Amino acid sequence: MIKTSLRQKIYLHFFVFMGINAVVWFLMYYNYNTMDNKLRLIETKNELFNIILEARRYEKNFFLRHDPKDLKQAVSFAENALVMQKKIVADFQGYIQNSQALDERISEIQSYLDNLSALVGVYDQLGAGKETIAETTHIEQYKNDIATLGRRITLETERIENEEKARLYKLLNQSKKYFVISLLALLLLSIITAFFLAFNVNRPLKIIGHGIRYILNGDYSKIPHINTGDEFESLAHSLNNMIDELNRRNEQLFQAEKMSSLGTLTSGVAHELNNPLNNISTSVQIVLEELDQPDIEIMKDLLSDAEKQVDRARDIVKALLEFSRQSDFLIKRHSFKKLVENTLMLIKGDIPSNIDLDIQMGDDVYGYFDFSRMQQVLLNLIINSTHAMVAGGRLSIEGYEEEGSGMFVFKVSDTGIGIPAENLNRIFDPFFTTKEVGKGSGLGLSIIHGIVEKHKGRIEVDSRLNAGTAFTIFLPLQPEV
């Protein structure tokens, strides 16, 4: 299937629009030109009719008074009528319906003129008075022929003029119809143009605009497929490829930040693992020493304690593996208490002894989130809080369901040095950090912000210098599917 570009569609639509306009305006101009010539034809025929009437008037005056001047005037008007009739044939040949009738009118006017001229000749030859002329036999014959021809010419000229008027009225009615049809055609074409722009330009632009706004807000969902076969489809495809690449890079960045966090936690995790291993070692040594004189109860207690320490070490390693494992984004219902416990298991060894932990939550507090990513959020917030309390303080973690809002809320707050007001609007910017070189990448809070937005949630910050900082996370209790 041959795909048409947007430019070609616009050009084609423009040419069709201009073509229809050209046809409509040509028809209207042609119609107007025809009516203009019809009007001039009617005016000329009306003038011809008046000339013939004048010739008939002088003709009748002559027959009544036998005055040669009347006859000569009739001849003069008849000559003018013949000239005008020939002019009508020459000038309006294309606008006359029955050219044969015009030829007949010319012949009749010519005959009428010939009879009048002949009568003038007879009158000149006789050279006598009126009474003598009246007695001449030719006069009656000419009189009958002239009267018959004059009457026929008058009636036919009047009839033709009335027919032309009727045709003009018909043409006017047709012009009205053409005008209405042209308006309807232009209206229909305008509607088609509007739909063309709406579906081929405006709709794809809206879809792409919404997709770009989602990207700006941190939502890297794909733009819906645009099946237009033009530049918009290509643009949407390119944007979706870009979104795929961004998602892939974000996953790599997220995983790299987790690995960076693991590097930070290494000493703490080692310390946490060292304690149960030391306990296991001590219990095993005591058991070995007591093998010669075994006390079953003591040995049971020692082995039971060793088993607990093994479980503790296994849980630490399991939490470490789960945290470091790369997984797909999946929102499920999870216990917030379990999230906090697993996170503290990784970082507890890195929390200085001069920082008090204050955990406020019930056993039945649940939220909808991706466990691994929300653990990264909680871990980064705890690390930032401990870094802000060099001289010690209190680290508080609380979680609850906010009544009426349909949101699960958890807060991480500290009593550290706080964040300057001028930096609050920049803390979520990538690579922004106030720490010394080598102490942080400036990506932690940026990644936190991206993770929260991917959950369709929001994050709020409340901080005062030398009083502490509180990060509050709001997550929907009914996440979008």
Q: Which domains does the chain have, with CATH numbers?
A: 6-204 (1.20.1420), 231-326 (1.10.287.130), 327-480 (3.30.565.10)
Helices (H) and strands (E) in the chain, counts: 11, 7
pLDDT at site 5: 67
pLDDT band at 481, cuts 50/70/90? very low
Would you say residue 176 has pLDDT above 50? yes
Per-residue pLDDT tens over the stretch 262-294? 555 565 566 566 777 777 887 787 777 777 766
pLDDT at site 396: 94
pLDDT band at 143, cuts 50/70/90? confident
What's the chain's average pLDDT? 77
Among 4-18, 228-242, 323-337, 454-468, which range has the highest average pLDDT? 454-468
Would you say residue 23 has pLDDT above 90? no
User: Does 143 or 53 have the greater pLDDT score?
Assistant: 53
Would you say residue 409 has pLDDT above 90? yes
Would you say residue 423 has pLDDT above 80? yes
Segment 183-198 mean pLDDT: 81
Among 96-100, 192-196, 442-446, which range has the highest average pLDDT? 192-196
pLDDT band at 1, cuts 50/70/90? very low
User: Does 134 or 356 have the greater pLDDT score?
Assistant: 356
DSSP notation for 90-103: HHSGGG-S-HHHHH
pLDDT at site 339: 92
CA nearest neighbour of 119 among 80, 65, 48, 63: 63
* Amino acid, single-letter form, for residue 203: R
pLDDT at site 68: 76
pLDDT band at 439, cuts 50/70/90? low
Would you say residue 11 has pLDDT above 50? yes
Segment 180-193 mean pLDDT: 82
Strands 393-402, 355-360: parallel, antiparallel or unpaired by DSSP? parallel
